[in-house]
Structure 1
Amino acid sequence: MPLQFLLPYEPVVFGYHLNVHLILEYLAFFIGFRYYVFLRKNSTDTISSLNRLSILIGAVFGALFLSRLIGFLENPPLHATQGFIAIVNNKTIMGGLFGGLLGVEIAKKIIGEKTSSGDLFTLPIIVGIIIGRIGCFLSGIKEFTYGVQTSSIFGLDLGDGVLRHPIALYEVVFLILLFIALKTHQNKKISIENGSYFKFFMVAYFLFRFCIEFLKPNEFLILGLSSIQYLCVICFLYYYKFICKTLLYVAKKLHLL
């Protein structure tokens, strides 16, 4: 059966249309959290359970706030006319990630925790995003994770009869490769600075999203860039010391080769 007859994928069960995207979104949270619990039980965590809980609370509230704010800023003129409920429901993972990061840092300041806490969250976050993006892909053009029209071999009909870049699938492939790379490096048990895995994930993912935004049909742009891309730039500035250190390390390795 041609793909255009499959997307958006909305199966009917007992007479009800299932919202596959919403189901996978909840599944992403559940599996991601269970994976985090598994990793914490099988690792030496120097952060106490109480402090971990405080950090999680900070991450949740930070993610909730900034995910909605950045989601609104993707197209303020459009979202302003949709009403309060639509604005609250509109969200983006990019704002969630950076908002969660800020929420964690604020929580750690309050409780006086100085140990980097991100590494334990890194792989579960990647798994959660992968599951969520599969849901976005199955939603076709009902979710703003589709690309502009293309005549390349990657073009797919996402439900509107137009061959588009399947950006959600691009992201799934990228995240799977990133997961394999980080997991492989962790298995080698190479000694690196605490928190480096999470920083690398954030920089790599935000760089990918900065580039992939050029393939999206964004209508609200400032100086040619979307709100997501400006958030990416802010993230790069936030991690500029880590980026410089990483680039210097790579340059030294290449010089040795």
Structure 2
Amino acid sequence: MQKAFFIEIMIIDFPLTFQIFGKTVLAHPVFETVGIFLAMRYYFYLKRKSSEKMSFSSSAAVLIGATAGALIGSKLIGNLENPYLLFNDFNIQRFWTNNTIVGGLSFGLIGVELAKKIVGYQKSTGDLIVYPLILAMIIGRIGCFFTGVYEETYGIPTDSVFGMHLGDQYLRYPVALYEIIFLIILWITLKRIQIKSKFSSGFIFQLFMLSYFTFRLMLDLIKPKIEIIGNLGTIQLVCIVVIIYYIFKMKNTLNQKSNQ
């Protein structure tokens, strides 16, 4: 029975779909919605347990800033992955449905920092969102994997043993699986660092951002992309900017710790 079940999973047809209210829906938006819901519940659970309290106005400002920044960034960077199509054949529906977590994270950060400046809140707010964010990303990437080549979250063709059929005639790198594995390892590593080391508030978020954007810079080497500068795509260029920013930010954090 177990062997038969394993074989059935291995030959699943891509894309995985669900019937919702009589409509066929791809796995990705379903898993993405579930991931966001569970992550928000987890965040509020951690927030209740946290000793760091924010006023309602500060909390609301940060939430609005993060949401607005992530929404704008995910769609802007997602569409700039193919700037020629964006500017030469603009389509509002395509613009609205193109998203990327890289744009969401980077512009969400900008939105939070702007919101904090507006309300005059100076403390770091990132650490509390790290693990709910990783949870949402893991669940979302499960949906990406089961969607296969029917959304742009798949790898380039390969003849290596790592290739998988994801819905077309090619063996491709299952990059969504690689990201899931990386995020699980990152979660465990960050937890251990948080328990064993006493860094200032915000350090775990900085380490998460630096680690994830470095990973994405490398992962996108085996993903289809429009080359913008050299052999780098839009997402990789954004990753480089964020990596440089957080190298300097973490350097300042570590210097402050050593001077204490």
- Do Structure 1 and Structure 2 share a fold, with TM-score over 0.5? yes
Task: Pick one of 94, 100, 119 that aligns with 1:92.
Answer: 100
Aligned to 1:166: 174
Deviation at 1:130, TM superposition (A): 0.6
In structure 1, what is the Cα distance between the partners aligned to 2:106 and 2:253?
20
Deviation at 1:220, TM superposition (A): 3.5
Instruction: Tell me if the contact between 2:78 and 2:99 (Cα under 8 Å) persists in the aligned partners.
Output: yes
Deviation at 1:83, TM superposition (A): 0.9
Which letter maps to 1:147? G
Quickly say closer, same or farther: Cα 1:5–1:28, change in 2 above 3 A. closer
Aligned to 2:143: 135
Deviation at 1:111, TM superposition (A): 0.3
* 1:62-211 superposed matches below 5 A: 62-80=69-87, 81=89, 83-188=91-196, 190-211=197-218
Deviation at 1:197, TM superposition (A): 0.5
1:86-139 alpha-carbon deviations (Å, 9 max, x no partner): 112211110000110000000000000000000001111010011111111110
Aligned to 2:39: 32
Q: CA RMSD in A?
A: 2.2
For structure 2, the residue ranges without an aligned partner over 5 or more in a row are 1-7
Which letter maps to 2:24? H
In structure 2, what is the Cα distance between the partners aligned to 1:63 and 1:38?
22
Percent sequence identity is 42
Secondary structure of the residue aligned to 1:18 is strand
Is 1:224 the counterpart of 2:238? The answer is no
Count of equivalent residues: 249
In structure 1, what is the Cα distance between the partners aligned to 2:18 and 2:66?
34
Q: Using structure 2 for the length normalisation, give the TM-score.
A: 0.89
In structure 2, what is the Cα distance between the partners aligned to 1:247 and 1:151?
43
For structure 1, the residue ranges without an aligned partner over 5 or more in a row are 253-257
Which letter maps to 1:149? P
In structure 2, what is the Cα distance between the partners aligned to 1:10 and 1:59?
30
Task: Pick one of 17, 25, 30 that aligns with 1:23.
Answer: 30
Instruction: Tell me if the contact between 2:130 and 2:208 (Cα under 8 Å) persists in the aligned partners.
Output: yes
Deviation at 1:23, TM superposition (A): 1.0
Deviation at 1:14, TM superposition (A): 7.9
Quickly say closer, same or farther: Cα 1:247–1:74, change in 2 above 3 A. farther
Instruction: Tell me if the contact between 2:15 and 2:26 (Cα under 8 Å) persists in the aligned partners.
Output: no
